[in-house]
Amino acid sequence: ESLFIKRYNTKHGNGGFIFTAMVSLFAMFFFLITDQNGYSFPEEMIPYAILSGILYSTASVLTFEALICGSYVMSMLILSYRLVFSIIYGLFFLHEPATIYTYLGLVIMLLSLYFTRGRREVSEKKASFKWLICITLSVFGGGMYGVMQRVQQIKFNNSCTNEYMVISMALSAISLF
């Protein structure tokens, strides 16, 4: 997805949120089509879905902006750290056990920054303050989006995940269009 966003931005310049909106729209259609249990939209679930839609669309816009003004390699590497939010949520709030693989994965993620620092593309496009703000907020928004998905799954016992995603992706598509 990010490769296509970068290519679209290179070809069409600014205003490429239409592409990102299309990604959200097609994701929404995917969840509409793949639902097998019939639709159920509990009122209590809707605020979670709305918050997730806001987090997803905001993170998408900020990712797009980060790819415009920063290095693709560093941006994508740092964006992959959104996963840390889910790991922390699982460890500290759900009290899931950490294994050696959990710690090994975290160490490898940190080492990846060290090993990427000397890449040619990274040195061609220096990190700007705008890039730093965009990438930081995108990681936070994307990470919290993942946490919200898990919170919703637990609270509603995985009974309305597709409905939740339909609302989130619809809101994201509308706001990005």
> CB atoms < 10 A from the CB of 37, how many?
11
Residue type, 93: F
DSSP 35: -
pLDDT at 158: 86
Which one-letter amino acid corresponds to residue 99?
Answer: T
Cβ count near 12 (within 10 Å): 11
- Asked if 82 and 139 touch (Cβ cutoff 8 Å), the reply is yes
pLDDT of residue 121: 47
Task: Kindly report the backbone phi and psi dihedral angles of residue 94, in degrees, each rounded to the nearest multiple of 5, phi listed first.
Answer: -100, -5
Q: What is residue 101's predicted lDDT score, i.e. its pLDDT?
A: 93
pLDDT, residue 16, reads: 63
For residues 33 and 26, what is the distance between their CA atoms, to the nearest angstrom? Answer: 10
pLDDT in single tens digits along all 177 residues of the chain: 667 766 776 676 655 677 788 889 999 999 999 888 778 788 999 999 999 999 999 998 898 888 888 888 888 888 988 989 999 999 999 999 999 999 998 899 888 877 776 555 444 566 789 999 999 999 999 999 999 999 999 999 988 888 999 999 999 999 988
106 by Cβ neighbours in 10 Å (0-12 / 13-18 / 19+) ranks as: middle
